[in-house]
Amino acid sequence: MFTGIIESLGCIKRMDTVAGDVRLVIESDSLDFSDVQLGDSIAANGICLTVVDLGEKSYAVDVSRETLARTAMQNWSIGDTVNLEKAMLPTTRFGGHIVSGHVDGVGRIVQIKKDARSIYIEIELPEDLKRYTATKGSVTADGISLTTNLVKDNIICLNIIPHTAKITNIERHWRVGSLVNIEVDVVARYLERLLQGQADTIPSSTGITEAFLAENGFMR
């Protein structure tokens, strides 16, 4: 599990094809490697990846074809900067929100502009993810825990403060048309599953049916 609070930036040093999969080497001068061991999880742009090899200031991960197909990693290149976060500890300060590191889909940046000292950004989400978003809710974009200021159909509106823009890859890589990894709030996903299960088991005497839940916005 992660919190969406980026610890440091990394650089893609190698991308090697190995029997149809990819071995990725990420280097970072600022990540604390003192407690990193083989088998640990480190999220890169929001993708939970397992450390399979360690260097002094770098580590390697294996990436499956499933991950390549479902994330924006397919557009990464050697030299790109990625957001890094090590898996949280029981003692970690919970500054963001619950993040699993399992990307739900890929969003596309459709607008970027200055808004006083912050950066206003609009991201277009895949249609099947819009039902998990809410104004003033939480979303993860490239591993960054963010608050949605406004939701317009399948577009989420964000304001990025200068500190967040500086310590992440936003200033370096986010442009109109850029693709970013999106993970929706895990609570919304579990709530949907719970309501789906309840719709099948609620006694008819209550008057609450699957149709009733759909009509009142609980299901789509």
Confidence (pLDDT) at 197: 72
Confidence (pLDDT) at 220: 57
Tell me the C-alpha distance between 220 and 216, whole Å: 10
Residue 188: band (very low, low, confident or very high) from pLDDT cuts 50, 70, 90: confident
Checking if the pLDDT of 127 tops 50, the result is yes
The chain-wide mean pLDDT, for the chain, equals 90
3-state secondary structure 33-100: CCCCCCCCEEEECCEEEEEEEECCCEEEEEECHHHHHHCHHHHCCCCCEEEEEECCCCCCCCCCCCEC
Confidence (pLDDT) at 206: 47
Confidence (pLDDT) at 218: 59
Q: What domains appear along the chain, each with residue ranges and CATH number?
A: 8-86 (2.40.30.20), 105-187 (2.40.30.20), 188-220 (no CATH)
Choice between 104 and 186, residue whose per-residue pLDDT is larger = 104
CA distances (Å), origin 204, targets 56, 193, 201 = 63, 20, 9
Most confident of 33-47, 78-92, 191-205: 33-47
